[in-house]
Amino acid sequence: MRITKYAAVIAAAGALVLAGCASGSPNSEGEEDTGPAPSEEVSFDEGTTMAKLNEAGKITIGTKFDQPLFGLDGPNGPEGFDVEIGKLIAANLGLSEDQIEWKEAVSANREPFIENGEVDIVVATYTINDERKQVIDFAGPYYVAGQDLLVLQGNPDGIEGIEDVEGKKVCSVTGSTSADNLTAAGVEVLATDTYSNCLEPLRSGEVVAVSTDNVILAGLADQNQGEFEVIENPFTEEPYGIGLKKGDDEFRDFINDVLEQSFEDGEWAAAWDRTAGKVLSTPEPPTVDRY
């Protein structure tokens, strides 16, 4: 069932790149490819980022390495829904998985990574907002999360929502919308660099909760079975976008086209099912914002 679905996904991605693209064929090690093979037949207008990446035969993608379900550096390399979105974009540039260089992004270095050209795109539970749009651009959204709270299993402090942690200490991450939203709500924030680094302060009782997007918290709870639970009372909307260099409208349009195509042909839903969908129910695809 899973294999059949995946084969359909590969075929769909191949069809988007070009008709007759050889997809799903064994690679040089004789292993089954997990994405469409790169093709010299893909053509892009000269001088565009798409043409440059295709010619270079390489794309560098920033993603999270410690967020199960979305971006986790596993034994076979990064995995998760964000990683699948990155692979989808690469495939449509005519690049195979082994032509992707994955770089660990943390919340605070995403804009600098893009601005300095350290990565070509960021796919990293990255909320689209006006402040960030001052320095970078976003394609998407490809998913809409909501900020929530993670507490110890059994919820010993009886926390039911954001109002219950006002004036209390909650762990979150520097450079995230989550930390800003907590501060704005009058919550005392213990700021770390990654959400996985918030788990120890929660275990020890230094904080009463960890707060960020519900899907990140669900991944951490799933990874640490029996230790934590998500309150499931989201209090924000976090539309996830793909960060890219400011002003690169052609590249933004290209990625938006790839996303819309994947919403239509079922590839987006299949990517979800293989990753986050193992724990979370399948959402409806959002509407791409062609700003």
The minimum distance between CB 145 and ligand GLU, in angstroms, equals: 6
Indicate which single residue of 23, 92, 99, 177 sits in contact with ligand GLU (rule: CB under 6 A): 177
Q: Based on CB atoms, which residue is closest to ligand GLU, 64 or 87?
A: 64
Indicate which single residue of 6, 126, 251, 272 sits in contact with ligand GLU (rule: CB under 6 A): 126
Q: Based on CB atoms, which residue is closest to ligand GLU, 54 or 107?
A: 107
Q: Based on CB atoms, which residue is closest to ligand GLU, 144 or 259?
A: 144
Structure tokens at 231: 């309150």
Q: Based on CB atoms, which residue is closest to ligand GLU, 23 or 125?
A: 125
The minimum distance between CB 173 and ligand GLU, in angstroms, equals: 5
Indicate which single residue of 39, 96, 107, 109 sits in contact with ligand GLU (rule: CB under 6 A): 107
Give 148's strand partners: 212
Interaction mask 188-227, ligand GLU, x per CB under 6 A = ------------------------xx--x-----------
Please count the residues of this chain forming the interface with ligand GLU, following the rule CB under 6 A.
13
Question: Is residue 66 a contact residue for ligand GLU (CB under 6 A)?
Answer: no
Which residue of this chain has its Cβ atom nearest to ligand GLU in the complex?
176
The minimum distance between CB 136 and ligand GLU, in angstroms, equals: 12
User: Nearest to residue 207, comparing CAs of 188, 233, 227, 186?
Assistant: 188
The minimum distance between CB 238 and ligand GLU, in angstroms, equals: 4
In whole angstroms, give the CA distance from residue 159 to residue 167: 13
In whole angstroms, give the CA distance from residue 50 to residue 61: 14
Interaction mask 134-173, ligand GLU, x per CB under 6 A = ---------------------------------------x
Indicate which single residue of 23, 99, 178, 214 sits in contact with ligand GLU (rule: CB under 6 A): 178
Chain contacts with ligand GLU (rule: CB under 6 A): 107, 124-127, 173, 176-178, 212-213, 216, 238
